[in-house]
Amino acid sequence: MRAAGRIAAEALALAGEAVREGITTKHLDTIIRTHIEKCGATPSFLGYSGFPGSACISINEELIHGIPSEDRRLQKGDIVKIDVGAFYRGFHGDCAATFGVGEISREAELLISATRESFFRGLEHARPGKRIGDIGSAIESYVTSFGFSVIRKYVGHGVGAELHEPPDVPNYGTPGRGPRLSAGQTIAIEPMVSAGGYEVYEADDGWTVRTVDQSLTAHYEHTVAITEEGIIILTRLGEDMEPYDGKANGL
């Protein structure tokens, strides 16, 4: 899973570096697929339940599952969510981040920052003996302090030999409630946040998820391993993915 996580993280970083005005979402998808396959892995999302892309690329009010297209070009001021998975030697790595296209609004900057930081607030509770509700509560309380909303219809998840495994990891919850975490678990923690309401709907393409009130959304995700020695962020680049040291130094 370290290798799968590194490949997914590298592909996401390469796509993030390529984000600019005028580039198509299909071009970003090609960058991701090319890198993953060059590493001897396969894109986790390609063909998953029929999904046609190698990555999910979603813009502005689109939250997740956006289909890459030659007809979608990024515009100045957009915020784009890129979600990447890599399958390598029997295991998956899954990660996501939100990128601004050129100069973005102050609201968009704050939304992206709060979503990213909420991941690390939740991560502090990804330890043996803690519960799933501890993670979700930490994320939700931080996000709502800015007046934002956590999406409730979609949640994080276990990840390993399968892309989506138990347990569900909601971005909301009650401290001390939910399944207890144990050493050896690998989970994807992925705050999905709206600047407005949390209601979402699936578009006519059968995939793209948008906010009902058309408010901006942000997404941030890492695959993490819970160990007795500490938390290992498997989709973080650098430092050879050593146990998390409590500093917000993810992607």
> Could you read off the pLDDT of 87-105 as tens digits, one per residue?
999 999 999 999 999 999 9
Mean pLDDT confidence for 19-42: 98
Mean pLDDT, the chain, rounded, equals 94
Radius of gyration of the chain (CA): 17
CB atoms within 10 A of CB 214: 12
Q: For position 241, what pLDDT does the model report?
A: 45
Considering the entire predicted model, what is its pTM? 0.94
User: What ranges in the chain are assigned the alpha helix state H?
Assistant: 2-18, 25-38, 106-123, 132-144
Query: Which band of pLDDT confidence, cut at 50, 70 and 90, is reported for residue 237?
Result: confident
Distance separating alpha carbons of residues 220 and 84, to the nearest angstrom: 11
Confidence check: pLDDT of 249 > 50: no
Mean pLDDT confidence for 6-23: 97
* Strand 209-211 relative to strand 200-202, pairing: antiparallel
Please report how many Cα atoms fall inside a 13 Å half-sphere around the Cα of residue 207, on the Cβ side. Answer: 18
Confidence check: pLDDT of 62 > 80: yes
Mean pLDDT confidence for 105-113: 97
Q: For position 238, what pLDDT does the model report?
A: 60
* Coil, strand or helix at 165: strand
Question: What is the residue type of 40?
Answer: G
Confidence check: pLDDT of 251 > 50: no
- When mean pLDDT is compared across 32-36, 170-174, 191-195, 244-248, the lowest value belongs to 244-248
- In the chain the domains, ranked by start, together with CATH numbers, are 2-241 (3.90.230.10)
Q: Which two tokens stand for residue 196?
A: 């407005």
Mean pLDDT confidence for 53-67: 98
Share of the chain above pLDDT 70, in %: 94
